[in-house]
Amino acid sequence: MADKLGSTSVINDFLSYSSVEKGLAKNTIAAYRLDLRKFQEYLELTDRNFGDVSSVFMDEFLGWLRGAGNEHEPGSESSNSRIVVTVRNLFKFIAISNRTVNPLQDYSPPAIPARLPKALSVNEVLLLIESAKFGDDKLALRNCALIEILYATGARISEVTSLKVKDVSQMQETLAIKLLGKGSKERVVPIGNFARISIEQYLLRSRATLLGGRGSDGLLLNSRGNNLSRQSAWAIVAEAAERAEISTHVTPHSLRHSFATHLLDGGADIRVVQELLGHSSVTTTQIYTLVTIDKLRESYASSHPRAK
């Protein structure tokens, strides 16, 4: 049998080092622990130990993670890749601690195929907004403002739920929203009339009622007068999508994807879209061009008389 006690001791040392010495977050340590539990499971299943680990072993382990001879549900490529990186970090720690050769020094995790973001059609966005107007008036006004802001700015959900009233301001002839993105990087995104009207209606007719006399500078509030949470915002979007009978899985991030895709479809410059999304590199934004190219290809194939 594989040396379970020995491997567990080494793994605990690695987790302790990652937490105390490297100062990694609790969530990261928890993810490491789950990843290495999978690794130990495979060691025990194949009756091997740390001394048997090599590049060939890792290829076999990866095949098992993908479902080969595995009774469990196969992992996604992103989770499989993360597990491989965690195991590689473990063996780097062992090699440094024991001054030995790292058998996985040159082993690379699997390349994750680029997944095209799923964008809603313009009609689906309109249906989503209309369905958000259902129910209690003060909550409906807030829900509609939430979805309008997400689609008008392409903001991440954490950026929207942390908005303050003062972040909405007049910029020349239009309304603009100041967003605080990753790395505390600020950006200002102008919004159109539909989003402006929705926000104004919410501020005029709903926010004070939700506030209930309590003090808060948050823009979007829950029924207790506190800032709307990310989880609640996800639920609002999901419920609106269900009422709108949209067949695809809809999340706040779907509206970010839709924002970028519809801008590029409309002829916006990719550098402008990069700035609006708050991407530090245009390379990240370029994935949306693949979506529009796919649409062009489909349109050509279905419309051109010599396409088939």
Instruction: Taking the CA atoms of 280, 281, 282 and 286 in sequence, report the sign of the dihedral they define.
Output: negative
Q: Look at residue 223 and give its three-state secondary structure.
A: coil
- Rounded average pLDDT per 10-residue block, the chain, 308 residues: 66 94 91 94 92 92 78 74 93 94 87 71 96 89 97 96 95 88 91 95 95 91 94 96 93 94 92 92 80 68 67
Q: Look at residue 214 and give its three-state secondary structure.
A: coil
Q: Give start-end residues of each CATH 1.10.150.130 domain in the chain.
A: 4-98
Matching residue, tokens 């104004």:
200
Catalytic position from the list 92, 138, 253, 295: 253
Q: Is 82 a catalytic residue?
A: no
CATH number for region 122-303: 1.10.443.10
Hey, which residues does 258 pair with through a beta bridge?
A: none
- Cα-based angle 177, 256, 290 (whole degrees, multiple of 5): 130
Matching residue, tokens 């309008």:
148
Instruction: Taking the CA atoms of 227, 231, 232 and 234 in sequence, report the sign of the dihedral they define.
Output: positive
Q: Is 156 a catalytic residue?
A: yes
Q: How many CB atoms within 10 Å of residue 154?
A: 23
Is residue 181 within 8 Å of 160, Cβ to Cβ? no
* H runs (alpha helix) in 206-286: 207-211, 230-243, 252-265, 270-277, 282-285
Catalytic position from the list 37, 72, 182, 271: 182
Catalytic position from the list 38, 88, 256, 262: 256
The CATH class of 4-98 is mainly alpha
Query: For residues 117 and 287, what is the distance between their CA atoms, to the nearest angstrom?
Result: 8
Report the chain's terminal Cα–Cα distance, integer Å: 59
β strands within the chain, DSSP E: 168-171, 174-180, 186-191
Q: Is 202 a catalytic residue?
A: no
pLDDT of residue 68: 62
Tokens (6 digits) for 288 = 């949306």
Q: How many CB atoms within 10 Å of residue 119?
A: 24
Q: Is 182 a catalytic residue?
A: yes
Hey, which residues does 177 pair with through a beta bridge?
A: 168, 189
Catalytic position from the list 82, 207, 262, 279: 279
pLDDT of residue 1: 42
Q: Give start-end residues of each CATH 1.10.443.10 domain in the chain.
A: 122-303
Residue partners of 28: CB distance under 8 A and separation at least 6? 18
Query: For residues 103 and 91, what is the distance between their CA atoms, to the nearest angstrom?
Result: 8
Amino acid at 253: H
Query: For residues 46 and 29, what is the distance between their CA atoms, to the nearest angstrom?
Result: 26
Q: What are phi and psi of 51, to 5 degrees?
A: -70, -15
Q: Is 214 a catalytic residue?
A: no
Is residue 276 within 8 Å of 151, Cβ to Cβ? no
Query: For residues 256 and 273, what is the distance between their CA atoms, to the nearest angstrom?
Result: 11
pTM of the predicted protein model: 0.63
Catalytic position from the list 156, 166, 196, 262: 156
pLDDT of residue 83: 93
Catalytic position from the list 32, 42, 107, 288: 288
- Cα dihedral 132, 134, 140, 145, rounded to 10, equals 20
DSSP state for residue 18 in the 8-state scheme: I
Tokens (6 digits) for 115 = 């997944």
Is residue 147 within 8 Å of 237, Cβ to Cβ? yes
Tokens (6 digits) for 286 = 């370029």
Q: Is 256 a catalytic residue?
A: yes
Query: For residues 22 and 14, what is the distance between their CA atoms, to the nearest angstrom?
Result: 10
